[in-house]
Amino acid sequence: MRLENTGIEEAVVDIQPLDRLMGNHAFIRAGQWDYERVTYDYKIASKEKNITYYIRIQGYAIEGDVDRGDAVIQLKTPLLGKHYYPHGVEYGEDENFPENLVDRATNLISKIKDDIDQYKK
């Protein structure tokens, strides 16, 4: 599910403050990057058997290199996904997400937006 109109779509931020502020909100980049793209995930446990939800924020380098730490990242529309063990994460619009989960994701992204606004280029 795409989380539209969050205010972070198209934001442009240097990779180092972006990594720091995303970590402050418990979003993990870990090994999810290459030289031109980054992906930050926030994991939400579920009481449903073998189901985990993820808020995913992706971006791509418009300048520099992620590996060197000098990239300037443009963010994309955040996603809310449902992980089905062992098949993977589904982001489709036909997925059903609890309303409280969508609200939680929207509130968390709103807090991230406030931090990003301090660093936007």
The predicted structure's pLDDT at residue 86? 67
Token digits for 2? Answer: 């795409």
CA–CA separation, 83 and 41 (whole Å):
12
Q: If pLDDT is split at 50, 70 and 90, which confidence band does 16 have?
A: very high
Asked if residue 47 has pLDDT above 90, the reply is no
Enter the pTM of the model.
0.88
Tokens of 23: 């970590």
The mean predicted confidence, pLDDT, of the chain is 89
- What residue spans define the domains of the chain? 12-118
pLDDT digits (tens, 9 = 90+) for 20-40: 999 999 999 977 788 899 999
Say which CATH superfamily domain 12-118 falls into.
Answer: YugN-like (3.30.310.100)
What mean pLDDT comes out for the span 51-55?
Answer: 89
Task: Note whether 82 and 56 are within 8 A (CB).
Answer: no
